[in-house]
């Protein structure tokens, strides 16, 4: 494994449901402390790394979110099972019969969402989807008191998917949880490494945000603190190159480069910034894709609404099977995204930023 694969493994294996991003933040603090000039956090835990100090230069905010979809302990039944509250957008069918890690005050606790054996399910009920309020997590406890005393679990404790980073096949495919949005964080780390060697004509803020999956909250507070002139959000894209999904729903494929979001439910990007990104991709022979989504929501929307409004764009690494225990990305797309974002930041001098913001 090379350094990038080692970082991707560490980031995706870390547990960080929305509101409980501490383990991921520690990784980002370690990585960014050696390539940036300062590190600080906002009031809810987003990490803000700054490269450059000239306050007269444009302020470029590059963001990715630390949180992953997870669960929270809602209540403990008398017989020792865990009922839960989802954190982020889960499909009910993605929750059943999966392994989980409950992050209790005494340490991580393994559990599984139980499922009835088909031996006892009536034939007419076997094709029904289990609803989340029917589900529970079994940790092997004897009763409620056992859960509280021996395992140290309390209501409000975070629960993360239990799955590990794996090299998949032979074509640079990686299998892991939490690509949304640990892949964006890894892009930020690699871009900052390059910028630190040859400083750009701007001040760059690499921001690792919190609580994106539950309302873009970290992007809102960190944008208020940074006051950017340009917003670049790095996300996991919605791949549509597998059975059961259509190009009407999404237009991305693995191995064909980063995707530029042209529309999602939270933001329409700056058309001038889009054109600049496309031109840079053509000049640097970087393959790109475009995606128009009816749903989705991402931190670029909060950057776009900061100050009196700024040009912003969402650049994504195509990902299969988002918001589940196992997603797949392609290394080729990751590398191309790092190249594209780096090239973009080098272009964002004061003159270019002024043109992007000019509507006269």
350 Rama sector, left if φ>0, alpha if ψ -120 to 50, beta otherwise: alpha
DSSP per-residue string spanning 65-134 = E--B-EEEEEEE-TTSEEEEEEES---GGGTTT-EEEEEETTEEEEEEE----TTSS-GGGTTSPPPGGG
Of residues 338, 310, 59, 64, the one with CA closest to residue 204: 59
Secondary structure (3-state) at 275: helix
Contact between 228 and 57 (Cβ < 8 Å): no
Known active-site residue 212: yes
Secondary structure (3-state) at 284: coil
CA dihedral of 199, 201, 202, 203, whole degrees rounded to 10: 20
d(CA 209, CA 219): 6
d(CA 79, CA 161): 23
User: Of 212, 213, 252, 302, which residue is the catalytic one?
Assistant: 212
d(CA 3, CA 251): 30
What lies within 8 Å, CB to CB, of 153 at 6+ separation is 73, 76, 82, 102, 104, 109, 139, 147
Backbone angles phi, psi at 53, to 5 degrees: -135, -5
Q: Which residues are part of the catalytic machinery?
A: 212
């Amino acid at each position: 494994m090379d350094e990038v694969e080692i970082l991707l493994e560490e980031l995706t294996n870390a547990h960080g449901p929305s509101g409980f991003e501490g383990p991921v933040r520690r990784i980002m603090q370690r990585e960014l402390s050696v390539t940036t000039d300062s590190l600080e956090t906002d009031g809810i835990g987003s990490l803000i790394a700054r490269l450059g100090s000239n306050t007269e230069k444009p302020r470029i905010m590059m963001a990715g979110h630390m949180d992953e979809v997870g669960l929270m302990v809602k209540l403990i039944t008398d017989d020792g099972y865990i009922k839960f509250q989802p954190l982020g957008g889960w499909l009910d069918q993605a929750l059943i019969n999966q392994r989980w890690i409950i992050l209790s005050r005494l340490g991580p606790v393994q559990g599984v969402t139980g499922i009835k054996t088909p031996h006892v399910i009536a034939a007419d009920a076997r094709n029904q989807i289990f609803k989340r309020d029917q589900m529970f997590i079994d940790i092997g406890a004897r009763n409620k008191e056992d859960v509280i005393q021996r395992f140290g679990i309390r209501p409000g404790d975070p629960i993360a998917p239990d799955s590990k980073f794996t090299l998949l096949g032979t074509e640079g495919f990686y299998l892991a949880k939490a690509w949304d949005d640990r892949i964006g964080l890894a892009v930020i780390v690699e871009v900052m490494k390059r910028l630190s060697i040859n400083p750009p004509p701007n001040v760059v803020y690499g921001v690792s945000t919190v609580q994106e999956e539950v309302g873009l909250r970290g992007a809102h507070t960190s944008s208020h603190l940074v006051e950017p002139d340009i917003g670049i959000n790095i996300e996991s894209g919605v791949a549509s190159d597998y059975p059961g999904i259509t190009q009407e729903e999404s237009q991305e494929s693995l191995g064909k480069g980063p995707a530029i979001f042209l529309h999602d439910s939270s933001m329409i990007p700056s058309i001038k910034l889009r054109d600049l990104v496309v031109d840079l991709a053509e000049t640097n022979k970087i393959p790109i894709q475009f995606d128009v989504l009816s749903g989705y929501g991402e931190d670029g929307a909060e950057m776009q609404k900061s100050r009196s409004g700024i040009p912003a764009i969402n650049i994504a690494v195509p990902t299969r099977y988002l918001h589940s225990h196992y997603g797949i990305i392609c290394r080729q797309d990751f590398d191309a995204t790092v190249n594209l974002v780096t090239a973009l930041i080098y272009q964002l001098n004061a003159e270019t930023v002024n043109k992007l913001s000019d509507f006269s």
